[in-house]
Amino acid sequence: MPSQARLAPRGLERLQSRHPWIFRGDLASLPEAEGGELVAVGDGRRPLAWGLWNPQTSLALRLLSWGSERPHLPDLIRDRLRSALALRRRWCPGEETFRLVHGEADGLPGLVVDRYDDVLCLQLLSLGWYGMREEIVEALSELLDPTAVLLRNDVRALEREGLRAEKKVLRGALEAGESRVVALGEIKSLVYPLAGQKTGLYLDVRHFPRLLRGLCRGASVLDAFCFQGQFALHALRYGAERVTAVDQSAPALEAGRRGLSLSGLRDGVDWVCGNVFDVLRRFEEERRTFDVVVLDPPPFAPSRRQVESARRGYKDLALRGLRLLRPGGTLFFFCCSHAFGRDALLDVLREAALDGRRDAKVVAELHQPPDHPVLPHVAETDYLKGFVLEVF
């Protein structure tokens, strides 16, 4: 029998819940295996599941299959990639830019694949997948025939896995500063697959700007933490009279400017580069107001330890947004921190409205799109939430 990771009682409970993560503290004994190997996980008598082993991190095992039969990894990868693509074809018809693999939710924990038309960007966030990168690239090439497959392993989580940060071309050709033009809703956007934030663009919010369609005719719109201005450009498309887009990344704002001409839009956006909190404070001092305010900040609570400080940050941001909003205006507020839940965010917005002496009603609740699916039994796959409020 191959070396087995023997589960402690709480580890057995975790496995029976079908959660794909097994922590070192869930194990009664460790397997005799090299980091990155596929190992059996069980009760000491028989295998109950199989997972990728990493002795260097507290997240010791990422489970790939349940049952006693050892999976053949190349076949498993191909099957799950095909299933992932089929889901996107069903739920994102006609789109060629989307998240193809969303880790645990697609049965490939620790693997992220984003598609930008003919370019695929990979994040191999576990030691096991890094060792299988050639098999993954081969399977993706067979499935989609991309012109380039890139590695975007430039995230902090890699340190815990014992991997170094790196960006490189795994197959095909793409220069460091080379861009692609992709469709996002009703605009065109530049993406720099080897240089942009995340894997190039924020794909999880790409469906939400369409909600601006009935709100922008003749309106003044503020898009804060805008990155390349998905909301700003859609607002202009939908007839906004004045659009202001704020971000601290000058390269992102320049890409947004180029997106105007690519989308056939007039130059009607005021691009403001700076710390968003400072800019909002200045707008408040100048007594500027807007009909629509979009606030899509980075995560304030990467882990549960930061929840209380995040609460203060989100409330401060919500108050500033409300002060800039005209009576009868609309506030879009997003949170991408898994550790900061939906109810906590709604509480923050409620408290901000009370403190700001504004009446507000929730008219829409937003969630991550279908290409970022959620497993009901894996809370960590559910991270993006948003509310749209009408404010008086």
| CATH number of the CATH domain containing 162 | 3.30.750.80
The pLDDT score that the predictor gives to residue 302 is 77
What is the band of 312 on the pLDDT scale with cuts at 50, 70, 90?
very high
Residue 112 has pLDDT above 80, yes or no: yes
User: Within 13 Å of residue 299, how many CA atoms lie on the same side as its CB?
Assistant: 18
- Which pLDDT score is estimated for 281? 98
Query: Are 214 and 115 members of one domain?
Result: no
Residue 355: its pLDDT value, please? 97
Question: What integer pLDDT is reported at residue 257 of this predicted model?
Answer: 97
pLDDT digits (tens, 9 = 90+) for 155-198: 877 888 888 889 999 999 999 889 999 999 999 999 999 987 88
Residue 304 has pLDDT above 90, yes or no: no
Residue range of the domain that includes 44:
4-66
Take residue 3 and report the two structure tokens written for it: 């070396």
Q: Is the dihedral of CA 136, 84, 34, 123 positive or negative?
A: positive
- Is there a single domain that holds both residue 342 and residue 376? yes
The CATH number for 199's domain is 3.40.50.150
Place of tokens 């053949």: 72
Residue 3 has pLDDT above 80, yes or no: no
Residues 267 and 141 in one domain: no
The pLDDT > 70 percentage for the chain reads: 99
Please report the pLDDT score of residue 160 as a whole number. 80
Mean pLDDT lowest for which of 48-57, 114-123, 155-164, 185-194? 155-164
What CA–CA distance (Å, rounded) separates 365 from 215? 17
How many domains does one find in the chain? 3
State whether 277 and 196 are in the same domain. yes
Q: Which of 24, 43, 66 is the last residue of a domain?
A: 66
The CA distance from 389 to 392, in Å, is 10
Q: Are 203 and 209 in contact (CB under 8 A)?
A: no
Give the residue from 66, 86, 109 where a domain finishes.
66
pLDDT at 1 over 60: no
Q: Has residue 2 got a pLDDT over 70?
A: no
Return the active site residues.
Answer: 336
Better-scored residue on pLDDT, 10 or 302 = 10
**Claim to verify: residue 96 and residue 43 sit in the same structural domain:** no
Q: What gap in Å lies between CA 360 and CA 322, rounded to an integer?
A: 10
- Interval 266-293 mean pLDDT: 98
Same domain, 238 and 272: yes
Average pLDDT over residues 228-252: 98
pLDDT for res 196: 75
Same domain for 207 and 231, yes or no, is yes
Average pLDDT value over all residues in the chain: 96
